[in-house]
Amino acid sequence: MIDFISKSREATDAGSERQAVRSLPFSRRSFLIKTSCFGAFYAVAKLIPLPALAAELAGDSRVSATPIVDKGFASVRQIGNGLYATISDPSKGNTTLCNGGFLVGRDAALLLEGFTTTVGAAFQMETLRTISQVPVKAAVDTHYHFDHSMGNAFYGANGVPLWAHATTAKRIVDSYSPMQGADKEAVLGPLEKRVRDAKSDVERAHAQSDLNAVTGLFQIANSSVLGLPNHPLDPAKLPISIDLGGLTAVLESYPGHSGTDIVVRVPDQKIVYTGDLLFSGWYPVCFDEKATISGWRDTLKKFASFDKDTLFVPGHGQICGQEGIASIREVFDDIAGQAEKMFKAGVPAEEAQHRYVVPDKFKNFPIFAWGFTIGPAFTKLYAEWQAGKT
Ligand SMILES: [Zn+2]
């Protein structure tokens, strides 16, 4: 993503900008129609609505049978004593996109995530206020990605301290400010070229999924005012315990998804808010320059070692138990298994990633975009193997 943006910036000099405009594969009108078609953004997720809560979780005494509020784009459900989960359904809009939640003690509350929009962050805060009037101690961004941070300005406007991994603020600025005010065609041109130049229908579909994703990101970045965390959490000083009054949350840092990942655990109730270290029933998004496949698989192994009755609130997808951890580990095993065969056969990573076949058992798992999930997983696995770190 960073590479992509910096290349786009280079392309804004006059000559290459004209080139980008000339090389557009669609007329301006059909291009605009296309982009607005994908305005809902998660093109795949649009087709695959959020699954209902699994029967065994609906029977879990910690989890309320019905949500306390359901807005379509997200619903909020009690999942423990003073613990709530905000679960997004991206097939119904961009307001939140990611999951979040809040923790309510006797003395204070903690809000999780800035979501994609300030409206999303406000929705969660308003829902908290239907439950409790305790002061909000802080909001936490589990990591810097846009769908967890673009609504941060709501916290700034409402005097809510915003906590996050120490490098989150810098990564928000470095990743998203270059898109703001940038020429749209210069940003999207290289991706449109990839669609046009694709060597096969499969490669074209993959390139189109990347174009859809970046189109959505561009729209969101340009309709948001960036809000930055004002309370950096030094990972070397984690874990830390936060006492909310009869409810203790523990903030921990693990490698894997973004290099800025913070997990919020409530050990007394065996509940973990994982951020994007867990995609539940989704393919994992691995594109980040700080994402590490081996690190992420180790983190998931660690989650698998938590108590068998642990309830996980993932960054995306439905609330799950240990079966959700087992499932995402299987997805990683499958990606690594297919990649390894091609690595050993000498197939270059760039070609191999397009040959990955989604097994039947994962065919309903949304893929955010090929170049944000399978593609970088292959590239990173290849790099790890080439470095001899199998
Ligand atoms: Zn993420």
DSSP assignment of 336-356: HHHHHHHHHTT--HHHHHHH-
CA 389 / ligand 1 centre spacing (Å): 25
* Rounded-to-integer distance, Cα 260 and Cα 247, Å: 25
Cβ atoms 268, 307 nearer than 8 A: no
Amino acid at 63: V
The reported pLDDT for the residue numbered 42 is: 53
CA 98 / ligand 1 centre spacing (Å): 9
Angle at 333 between CA 327 and CA 334, to 5 degrees: 90
CA 63 / ligand 1 centre spacing (Å): 25
CA 17 / ligand 1 centre spacing (Å): 30
* Rounded-to-integer distance, Cα 365 and Cα 12, Å: 37
The reported pLDDT for the residue numbered 55 is: 83
* Rounded-to-integer distance, Cα 382 and Cα 270, Å: 36
CA 325 / ligand 1 centre spacing (Å): 17
- Give the DSSP H/E element, type plus range, for residue 102: strand 100-104
Residues 6+ apart with CB under 8 A from 16: 10, 186
Residues 6+ apart with CB under 8 A from 360: none
The reported pLDDT for the residue numbered 49 is: 81
The reported pLDDT for the residue numbered 389 is: 54
Give the DSSP per-residue string, 265-311.
EEGGGTEEEEEEEEEESS------TT--HHHHHHHHHHHHTS-TT-E
* Rounded-to-integer distance, Cα 337 and Cα 361, Å: 15
CA 26 / ligand 1 centre spacing (Å): 31
Cβ atoms 67, 76 nearer than 8 A: yes
CA 261 / ligand 1 centre spacing (Å): 9
SS3 365: coil
CA 279 / ligand 1 centre spacing (Å): 9
CA distances from 386 to 338, 340, 348, 373, 382 (A): 16, 11, 12, 20, 6
CA 386 / ligand 1 centre spacing (Å): 26
CA 344 / ligand 1 centre spacing (Å): 30
CA 29 / ligand 1 centre spacing (Å): 32
The reported pLDDT for the residue numbered 315 is: 98
The reported pLDDT for the residue numbered 45 is: 54
CA 13 / ligand 1 centre spacing (Å): 31
Q: What is the pTM of this model?
A: 0.89
Task: Find residue 78's DSSP bridge partners.
Answer: 84
CA 335 / ligand 1 centre spacing (Å): 19
Cβ atoms 246, 106 nearer than 8 A: yes
Sequence-ordered alpha helix ranges (H) in the chain: 2-10, 14-22, 28-37, 43-47, 55-58, 118-131, 146-149, 153-157, 168-176, 184-197, 201-222, 293-304, 322-344, 349-355, 374-386
Per-residue pLDDT of the chain (390 residues; tens, 9 = 90+): 333 323 333 333 333 333 333 333 333 333 333 333 334 455 555 567 888 888 888 889 999 989 999 999 999 999 999 999 999 999 898 899 999 999 999 999 999 999 999 999 999 999 999 999 999 999 999 999 999 999 999 999 999 999 999 999 999 999 999 999 999 999 999 999 999 999 999 999 999 999 999 999 999 999 999 999 999 999 999 999 999 999 999 999 999 999 999 999 999 999 999 999 999 999 999 999 999 999 999 999 999 999 999 999 999 999 999 999 999 999 999 999 999 999 999 999 999 999 999 999 999 999 999 999 999 999 999 999 999 855
CA 276 / ligand 1 centre spacing (Å): 5
CA 234 / ligand 1 centre spacing (Å): 19
Provide the token pair at 294: 């081996």
CA 214 / ligand 1 centre spacing (Å): 14
CA 268 / ligand 1 centre spacing (Å): 27
Cβ atoms 137, 103 nearer than 8 A: no
